[in-house]
């Protein structure tokens, strides 16, 4: 349960970005509050220089590896790092005890044209995957990986994530159904945010369609803990959206939706029956398809998006990541970033397929309330993290490659009602061409978290031959210098 105030002195500005391989990238990629200590766990350069380690890199410039939303297993020894590459996507496992990294699974790169075959005689996506964004440790002790902006919008389950790494980790060399499998009960969408319910972890799974004007979904499993036995899929629909003129098949910001209500009471609308079969008149949500706008070719798009449009699923501006928490009243709550809207939603679960959607944080939310102000501003929130007290951290997607780095914000919701009173400036990126991603707190050491530097310019070895590359860092907030008392802070901000 959330409700704490900031435990640190917030930053007062976003930081400047340095050149590739600058000392900042190698030693201190983020500007952080006083007393917060960080150390590097791994980088592409370090892993690739050691013949005893392995990691995924494809031929794609600075997006050759693309570390993304990481997962811990329950002891915190291992970190699973998904690779958001345009083909040949995989997952690496970092052992924090031995400081070694191994590639566990990867697509065979056929979709990237690395192997010869005629389109009529082979399926280039049969053993290839792309744009793995989330990695999630499941209640069953497996790891889920979701395809986002490339591939077919599938969820891949790694069945034996703690076993020794295979000699050949490519999908075509492994036994599907034993080493990995496709989770066919989850709709095909542009996956990013996937989480298991806290109240019903073996029964309910929440996920997001990250593509333009995507919606928010829930899967209620038919059999507890059995991801393959079927279940009923729902999409979230705000009750007054259609009544206020909203059109689910239009873009969230199209003229027809300008005055439409996307907050307030909402209902989980079924897309399938309890066995997972599409309802009459609803597009098959499990249909494979490329990531395209359904208005260009509704017959090709991934099925989850089209199905949501069929039943009036409320569209949002690039909903991306998600965290599941609890409000003060005991209700389960989903926190969802809407990147294109520069905002974060909170969705309170009310039971009986009912929910309530609120604005948790946005550009209208005060910054560093009662403390020295910051010139930074909330810009394109992408990822979310949650600490042991339930506080939410907002990780920006932007600005990528500009002179000023993206930020991480602490959302202050001290009354824990699902609406933040302030967003407090926590970290700011200093690495050229990069964004922060994958922030996740340690499961047994609550003052520690890891966060990744994604797609820095230094990952492109053609531009930076000795590039440090994508990297994972660990931070400890135990020694953070606390802010002054409110009356002192108020006085200092007016001096």
Cα 20 to the center of its chain, rounded Å = 25
Structure tokens at 121: 């005689």
For 453-475, what is each residue's pLDDT tens digit? 999 999 999 999 999 999 999 99
From the list 360, 345, 491, the residue with the least C-alpha distance to 421 is 360
Number of Cβ within a 10 Å radius of residue 421: 16
Contact in structure between 347 and 357 (CB atoms under 8 Å): yes
pLDDT at 114: 63
Q: Are 374 and 359 in contact (CB under 8 A)?
A: no
Nearest to 190 by CA among 235, 234, 155: 155
The whole-number pLDDT of residue 268 equals 98
Cα separation, 187 vs 284, whole angstroms? 9
Q: Which residues contact 255 (CB under 8 A, 6 or more apart)?
A: none
Q: Output the pLDDT for position 425.
A: 98
pLDDT at residue number 289: 77
Are the C-beta atoms of 259 and 253 separated by less than 8 Å?
no
pLDDT at 116: 56
pLDDT recorded at residue 485: 72
The low-confidence residues of the chain, meaning pLDDT below 70, are 1, 113-122, 291-295, 298, 399-401, 486-495
| Euclidean distance between CA atoms 217 and 303, whole angstroms | 13
């Amino acid at each position: 349960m959330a409700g704490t105030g900031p435990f640190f002195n917030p930053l007062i500005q976003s930081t400047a970005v340095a050149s590739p391989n600058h000392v900042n990238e190698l030693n201190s990629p983020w500007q952080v509050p006083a007393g917060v200590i960080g150390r590097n766990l791994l980088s592409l350069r370090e892993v690739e220089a050691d013949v005893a380690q392995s990691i995924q890199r494809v031929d794609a410039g600075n997006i050759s590896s693309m570390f993304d939303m990481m997962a811990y297993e329950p002891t915190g020894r291992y970190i699973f790092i998904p690779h958001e590459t345009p083909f040949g996507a995989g997952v690496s496992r970092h052992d924090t005890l031995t400081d070694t990294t191994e590639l566990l699974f990867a697509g065979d790169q056929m979709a990237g044209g690395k192997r010869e075959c005629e389109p009529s005689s082979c399926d280039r996506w049969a053993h290839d995957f792309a744009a793995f964004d989330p990695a999630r440790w499941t209640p069953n002790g497996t790891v889920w990986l979701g395809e986002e902006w490339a591939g077919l919008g599938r969820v891949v389950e790694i069945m034996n994530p703690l076993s020794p790494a295979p000699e050949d980790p490519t999908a075509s060399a492994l036994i599907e159904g034993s080493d990995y499998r496709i989770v066919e009960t989850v709709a095909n969408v542009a996956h990013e945010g996937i989480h298991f319910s806290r109240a019903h972890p073996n029964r309910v799974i929440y996920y997001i369609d990250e593509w333009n004007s995507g919606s928010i979904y829930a899967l209620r499993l038919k059999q507890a803990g059995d991801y393959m036995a079927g279940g009923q899929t729902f999409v979230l629909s705000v009750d007054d959206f259609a009544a206020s003129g909203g059109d689910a098949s239009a873009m969230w910001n199209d003229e027809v939706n300008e005055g439409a209500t996307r907050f307030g009471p909402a209902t989980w609308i079924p897309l399938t029956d309890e066995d997972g079969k599409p309802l009459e008149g609803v597009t098959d949500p499990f249909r494979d398809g490329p990531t395209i706008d359904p208005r260009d070719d509704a017959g090709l798009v991934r099925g989850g998006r089209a199905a949501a449009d069929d039943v009036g699923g409320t569209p949002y501006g690039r909903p991306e990541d998600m965290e599941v928490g609890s409000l003060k009243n005991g209700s389960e709550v989903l926190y969802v970033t809407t990147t294109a809207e520069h905002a974060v939603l909170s969705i309170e679960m009310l039971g009986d397929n009912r929910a309530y959607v609120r604005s948790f944080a946005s550009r209208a939310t005060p910054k560093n309330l009662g403390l020295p102000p910051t010139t930074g501003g909330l810009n394109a929130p992408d990822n979310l993290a949650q600490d042991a007290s339930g506080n939410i951290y907002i990780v920006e997607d932007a600005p990528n490659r500009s002179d000023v780095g993206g930020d991480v914000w602490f959302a202050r919701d001290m009354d824990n009602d699902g609406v933040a009173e302030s967003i407090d400036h926590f970290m700011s990126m200093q690495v050229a061409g990069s964004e922060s991603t994958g922030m996740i707190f340690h499961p047994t050491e609550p003052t520690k978290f890891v966060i990744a530097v994604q797609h820095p310019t230094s990952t492109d070895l053609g531009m930076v031959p000795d590039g440090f590359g994508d990297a994972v860092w660990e931070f400890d907030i135990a020694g953070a210098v606390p802010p002054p008392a409110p009356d002192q802070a108020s006085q200092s901000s007016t001096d």
